[in-house]
Amino acid sequence: MEPLLAAHDVHAAIGASRILHGLSLAVGRGEVVALVGRNGAGKTTALRTLMGHVRPWQGTVRWQGQDITRWPAHARARAGIAYVPQDRRMFANLTVEESLEVAEAAHPNRRPREEIYELFPVLAERRRQLSGFLSGGEQRMLALARALVANPSLILLDEPTDGLAPVVVEQLLSRIAAVAAQGISILLAEQNVRFAAMLARRGYLIHKGAIRREGTVEELLADEEAAGRYLAV
């Protein structure tokens, strides 16, 4: 079957720096796929390119078989792709509820807020709190919740666990798993294969802007040679 999203031989640069060198990957319907690599490997650039924030100079990106390589980000968002950046751009002066309202205003086919609160009960509890006063894990949940408002089919999720304490990581991953259980595909950028393995069955190892290994997360975890070469251990 046609994958939901497929990148083939994508080359991309930021300014004069060439960053992606022939990246190819695919995400199926309802699948959680990990994109694992150390800091500077090209994960964020890959996700930004898939979202349309970076324009590749070679290669193709397909969405349900359709060539979307030249589509701007807003068209991809309308088609069902959401991007949750690594840096949490929060409206610190808005409450949780107001932040969701801002997202709702931008997306007419939005998902009912009660459904979002069911997925993230802690956000329901904190709905009148200012976003700036949420804990790190709660801020990540809010960022994900805001992306869900648009009712995406695929979420490009950039290092959600970055900087969180292990116990918080577990709580967050369980919420992401609940999102995935609704059939939403996720491409999860991660430095930590073990965290990625808690969600994904399959993954890609990225290094210097290209995929070096792909396989089940068990295969990636067992590949010590690749881990030594391409991951921070």
Ligand X SMILES: Nc1ncnc2c1ncn2[C@@H]1O[C@H](COP(=O)(O)OP(=O)(O)O)[C@@H](O)[C@H]1O
> Under rule CB under 5 A, how many of the chain's residues touch Mg ion?
3
In the complex, what is the shortest distance from the CB of residue 105 to Mg ion, in angstroms, rounded to a whole number? 28
- The answer to the question of residue 44 lying near Mg ion (CB under 5 A) is yes
Residue 49 lies near ligand X (rule: CB under 6 A): no
Among 3, 37, 80, 137, binds ligand X (CB under 6 A): 37
Q: CB of 48: closest distance to Mg ion in angstroms?
A: 9
As a three-state string, the secondary structure of the chain is CCCCEEEEEEEEEECCEEEEEEEEEEECCCCEEEEECCCCCCHHHHHHHHHCCCCCCEEEEEECCEECCCCCHHHHHHHCEEEECCCCCCCCCCEHHHHHHHHHHHCCCCCCHHHHHHHCHHHHHCCCCEHHHCCHHHHHHHHHHHHHCCCCCEEEEECCCCCCCHHHHHHHHHHHHHHHCCCCEEEEEECCHHHHHCCCCEEEEEECCEEEEEEEHHHHHHCHHHHHHHCCC
Least CB distance to ligand X at residue 146 (A): 21
- Under rule CB under 6 A, how many of the chain's residues touch ligand X? 12
- If contact means CB under 5 to 8 A according to the sort of partner, which of ligand X, Mg ion, none does residue 17 touch? ligand X
**What's the sign of the alpha-carbon dihedral 202, 74, 115, 102?**
positive
Residue with tokens 């030594």: 228
Rounded least distance, CB 51 to Mg ion, Å = 13
Q: What is the closest distance, in whole angstroms, from the C-beta atom of residue 112 to ligand X in the complex?
A: 33
Q: Which of residues 2-21 bind ligand X (CB under 6 A)?
A: 14-15, 17, 19
| 81-100 residues near Mg ion, rule: CB under 5 A | 86
Is 49 a binding residue for Mg ion by CB under 5 A? The answer is no
Which of 88, 127 has the CB closer to Mg ion?
A: 88
Footprint (CB under 6 A) of ligand X, residues 103-132: none
Binding residues for ligand X (CB under 6 A): 14-15, 17, 19, 37, 39-45
Would you tell me which residues interact with Mg ion (CB under 5 A)? Answer: 43-44, 86
